[in-house]
Structure 1
């Protein structure tokens, strides 16, 4: 193109592809640049799943991909939290059920591989400019951005949507600093079979040093697993054979899911956090893990990135409607206002919950126990907390509102 794109989205993970699809949906001239999902087995298999909350599902419906994803998605009807620690101040077990909010589900769990493949296929169908290449450099000036591919071809853009992950080239080029931290923990992602059906219930076992979480899959007797623990314990668990690892799981879940067997491939990841000190600057808006990374607690990470995508689409749509530069300061400021409270509140909340499982301080344990006891005994407060977990503190972006409530 001799004219710049309205937006070039850098990064073809789920948040990046969703951003490109949302921008295309609102009429922006958009290009998506990034390596496509792998079509062959990787040395380290992709074992993770994504728990998509209700507004994320509505977003995917607007983007025209949910019908393809639904067969691979498992409904999440309840979340059960169990204090599996050895603390003298153990918290009561508590279940959060979707029906308490008048909902059928809190959302759906789906394998990352299925999500990425369907999103990318949809992008190739509806976006004229999908470039399966890595962006090597980004050059910014007052009027536009010039993005150079690994092939030395170039793309011009009025706005760069940086969805290129933890080591974001877009973020570095825009001179946006980050705050990074580590928890000295690792997360093991896998799957396993169990003799009792999960019935759509995700179970979080909170224990010293982390949590063990099972999340339903479409097979009623198979769950995905996220096991957060110290890095040393994670290494020992990864060294176990399948039989011993299943036995370790059985020790924690006891008879909750019956007899555990058939552990799937395992992958281990460091648990760390990152927040960008600015969500947008210098013709660049950050999306997904380029803007924020948090511990795998409470299904917040990808849902937060999808809200970034939908909010950016709102901002760009408003700019184009009023003849504004989509990469100009006004639009970037609008995006920051739309996202900063949601990102900040989720980041702090997940960090505090994660650290509460690491501490041995009695006052912290007492406070955590008191909070869960209060939620269990006071239904209005419990409903309020569930609603806050499902939706951002500000208005939902337009593409995340249920289709039946959208104006004609």
Structure 2
């Protein structure tokens, strides 16, 4: 690298970090992306909701991403808890709210690869494939120390370095963490029957069992269950695991075959007391961690990036630098309520499945029954889930020119 001074430095080359670097470079900021790519397959996928699709369209990468993703046109919820108040299956179709799909499902590694291709092709983005080892801020901006001894200066540092964020720790931003008595088994499956672009979520007493379509007769699975059961499932050979999955899915997609790597993910959460410190903004899992329920984690990370981009652009119009306290306070205001609401929703859903209390089962069953039978209510809930009307960053509104 011949130039070590930038407007914005993004630390972390996962999907969130890559998207942040592309977004700021797109707007003309001198941007550097720091960190090495991790493209190991781990059996995990992400369902990109409508706002994330619009965001990727604005970055110019959506056609490449869509080529290896599958649309989610229908969502089904089946109560398999054994509750006395078991409602009939509930179905939601994207066409009811004027969309072709609620979102698109893609393997995590494929998404990172497509974003990395765009980053390498960007003439206005510098790539520094070293790991950040230190961070400091002063009146002149921020400094990032790299593993090879180089130092990078930037007006704003974006910490996209994951749940164990080194930059967050150095900045002294405190966290709250929690865990659940569950783990999630993740795996890619092939199956005999068509999924017809429908995801199916079985609510069991130990957590959701969710099948989400991939291109072809393939689906991804997130099976949330007790820690002991998850450990047992993870030790099964491919044939035995495929049979266990087929039985839990009530043969919904016919015979199953393991068609990719497996993952075993402890169920946990993390939140921060603030999203920024001097010349530093947290995005993605550096700011919040969700259990793999409800497709919230990465979609919220993309919203972080789009909201930070808006705060930087608007702050610049008001005469503030990208890393100023005024700009980052604006970012905090834009993210705090959204993340808190989504955290509460995911946590609440998971805990209602675990309680086994009759009043809780009744309320959950009544809620699903109402969504199934009251069209206007169902459409309001669907729109809020994928097309929220308040506080949506501009790049997620389909406004690619601002």
Per the shorter chain, which TM-score range? over 0.9
Which residue does 2:73 correspond to in 1?
77
Between the aligned partners of 1:192 and 1:361, the Cα distance in structure 2 is: 34
Which secondary structure state, in structure 2, belongs to the residue aligned with residue 353 of structure 1?
Answer: helix
Which residue does 2:33 correspond to in 1?
32
Cα deviation 1:96-149 (Å, max 9, x = unaligned): 110110111111111111110111121122143111111001012233111000
Query: Is this contact kept in 2: 1:217–1:223, CA < 8 A?
Result: yes
Relative to the length of structure 2, the TM-score reads 0.96
Distance 1:46-1:407 versus aligned 2 partners, 3 A rule: closer
Q: What is the aligned counterpart of 2:356 among 360, 369, 379?
A: 360
Query: Is this contact kept in 2: 1:69–1:118, CA < 8 A?
Result: yes
Between the aligned partners of 2:117 and 2:306, the Cα distance in structure 1 is: 19
Query: Is this contact kept in 2: 1:37–1:117, CA < 8 A?
Result: no
Q: How does 1:128-139 map to 2 (within 5 A)?
A: 128-139=125-136
Which residue does 1:65 correspond to in 2?
61
Which residue does 1:289 correspond to in 2?
285
Q: What is the aligned counterpart of 2:142 among 137, 140, 145?
A: 145
Between the aligned partners of 1:322 and 1:231, the Cα distance in structure 2 is: 51
Which residue does 1:375 correspond to in 2?
371
> 1:392 deviation in Å?
4.1
Relative to the length of structure 1, the TM-score reads 0.94
Which residue does 2:188 correspond to in 1?
191
Which secondary structure state, in structure 2, belongs to the residue aligned with residue 72 of structure 1?
Answer: coil
> 1:223 deviation in Å?
0.7
Query: Is this contact kept in 2: 1:196–1:258, CA < 8 A?
Result: yes
Which residue does 1:93 correspond to in 2?
89
CA RMSD of aligned residues (A): 1.6
Q: What is the aligned counterpart of 2:295 among 276, 299, 302?
A: 299
Distance 1:128-1:194 versus aligned 2 partners, 3 A rule: closer
Which secondary structure state, in structure 2, belongs to the residue aligned with residue 264 of structure 1?
Answer: strand
Which residue does 1:252 correspond to in 2?
248
Which residue does 1:118 correspond to in 2?
114
| Structure 2 segments unaligned to the other structure (5+ residues) | none
Q: How does 1:329-368 map to 2 (within 5 A)?
A: 329-368=325-364
Cα deviation 1:201-243 (Å, max 9, x = unaligned): 0000110111111110111x21111111111000100111112
Distance 1:407-1:62 versus aligned 2 partners, 3 A rule: closer
Query: Is this contact kept in 1: 2:311–2:330, CA < 8 A?
Result: yes
> 1:51 deviation in Å?
0.5
How many residue pairs were aligned?
Answer: 400
Between the aligned partners of 2:388 and 2:171, the Cα distance in structure 1 is: 27
Which residue does 2:103 correspond to in 1?
107
Between the aligned partners of 2:381 and 2:342, the Cα distance in structure 1 is: 13
Between the aligned partners of 2:353 and 2:249, the Cα distance in structure 1 is: 18
Query: Is this contact kept in 2: 1:50–1:109, CA < 8 A?
Result: yes
Between the aligned partners of 2:78 and 2:227, the Cα distance in structure 1 is: 22
Query: Is this contact kept in 2: 1:342–1:394, CA < 8 A?
Result: no
Runs of 4+ residues deviating >6 angstroms: none
Q: What is the aligned counterpart of 1:155 among 152, 156, 160?
A: 152
Which secondary structure state, in structure 1, belongs to the residue aligned with residue 291 of structure 2?
Answer: coil
Matched, 1:167 2:167: no
> 1:335 deviation in Å?
0.3
